Amino acid sequence: MAVEAATLAERCRHRFPIFEQQVYINSCSQGALSDAVRAAYEQYLDDWDEKGAPWEYWVERQEAARSAFAGLVNAGTDEIAVTTSLSAGVSALASGLRYARRSKVVLTDWEFPTIGQIWHAQESRGARVAHVPAAADGTIPLEHFEQVIDDDTLVVSITHVCYRNGAMIDVPAVVELAHERGALILLDAFQAVGSLPVDVKELGVDFLGAGVLKYLLGSAGLGFFYCRQELVERVWPTQTGWFADENIFAMDHTDYSPAATAARFQSGTPPVPAIYAGIAGIQLMREIGIAETREHVLALNAHLLDGLDELGATVVTPRAAEGRGALICVKSTDAVELVAALDREQIITSERDGNLRISAHCYNTREDVDAVLGSLQRHRNLLAAT
């Protein structure tokens, strides 16, 4: 049964002080700050003040984050690395693969810049990078993957939800195709995790990277990386650090002995303050309900799409619910100015690729959507007509 849009927001909105001042509908850039995350930062400062340098305790906090991440995506704790960003985890993976027997890396044209940059950096090590283009309708059909993934493909690196247009890839279908052709799959779930259920076992992915900055309500500086247990020891990262070692407190500088778990994808000193905040954000999102949030946002976005149609706006996000994530993107004649105009009316959005991005989350209401539509009505000259 679908969740009533107002019900979920009423349950949690009071925990996000920003709504006392603004309409915040920009979670695709960063989640709103909650009382729980603010309190977590205060707890970090209290612990630092009271305990001095409690590194054993802070390592325990890292393990708590690992466990929280694992529970979130249905992974084993030994399959999770705690990283400073998605880039750090993917870079460790890319550095640990060999491009001799199979040399091809397949990306889509929807990838966030960090993904493309990391894989293209491997060309100096023998990798051949190929891109899967989008179709004219703004989707990437499976046939496009079929044309690019071949018997020389080592890894297929895809995004779950495109940051530029909100479109969502049919991940299980691409996973099945890649595995049939002997390739591994990496999923960038940064724009998905926290906004919809993500289960690595159901999706069948081999690797997954994400962060807590957006729909998990955490802050910058904390990510996580999943590696399927059977693959951990097949990857030998050369981008590494002491927290990737099999025994970090051995303090051994005489050899390289990476952990037998996904911790081998870690690097140096962990981002302790962000770990406190990340744990708090994940706990809060699980308390609110991620599946419920997905239903809630789908209802809000259905109302948004109806309003955008009445305005004659050009929506570049797929209409089918199963084909999109949480963000809705609208073509603009001047997206930077449109975001600024909304901001002047205390409505916080963002822009990418010439599109206005409107991204609701658990705390948003139908009234927030109406405020956005009202502002867009006043600034129709900045909307690209259909």
Question: What pLDDT was estimated at residue 352?
Answer: 95
Question: What pLDDT was estimated at residue 2?
Answer: 52
Locate the domains of the chain by residue range.
5-33+289-382, 38-285
Rounded to whole angstroms, the Cα distance separating 18 from 79 reads 36
Question: What pLDDT was estimated at residue 385?
Answer: 78
What is the value of pTM for the model shown? 0.95
Whether residue 84 contacts residue 223, with contact meaning beta carbons closer than 8 Å, is answered with: yes
Question: What pLDDT was estimated at residue 6?
Answer: 56
Q: Is 78 exposed, middle or buried (0-12, 13-18, 19+ CB in 10 A)?
A: middle
| Structure tokens, 370 | 């109406």
Whether residue 368 contacts residue 25, with contact meaning beta carbons closer than 8 Å, is answered with: yes
Rounded to whole angstroms, the Cα distance separating 315 from 299 reads 17
CB atoms within 10 A of CB 32: 22
Structural Rg of the chain based on CA atoms: 21
Residue 362: which of 314, 305, 311, 300 has the closest Cα? 300
**Angstrom distances, CA of residue 9 to CA of 129, 293, 346:** 43, 9, 19
Instruction: Write down the CATH number for the domain with range 5-33+289-382.
Output: 3.90.1150.10
Render each residue's pLDDT in the chain as its tens digit; 386 residues.
455 555 899 999 999 999 999 999 999 999 999 999 999 999 999 999 999 988 889 999 999 999 999 999 999 999 999 999 999 999 999 999 999 999 999 999 999 999 999 999 999 999 999 999 999 888 999 999 999 999 999 999 999 999 999 999 999 999 999 999 999 999 999 999 999 999 999 999 999 999 999 999 999 999 999 999 999 999 999 999 999 999 888 888 989 999 999 999 999 999 999 999 999 999 999 999 999 999 999 999 999 999 999 999 999 999 999 999 999 999 999 999 999 999 999 999 999 999 999 999 999 999 999 999 999 999 999 999 76
Question: What pLDDT was estimated at residue 4?
Answer: 58
Phi, psi of 165 (to 5 degrees): -135, 0
CATH of the domain spanning 38-285, picked from 3.40.220.10, 3.40.640.10, 3.40.50.2300, 2.40.30.10 = 3.40.640.10
Whether residue 24 contacts residue 343, with contact meaning beta carbons closer than 8 Å, is answered with: no
Rounded to whole angstroms, the Cα distance separating 381 from 373 reads 14
Question: What pLDDT was estimated at residue 99?
Answer: 97
Whether residue 316 contacts residue 355, with contact meaning beta carbons closer than 8 Å, is answered with: yes
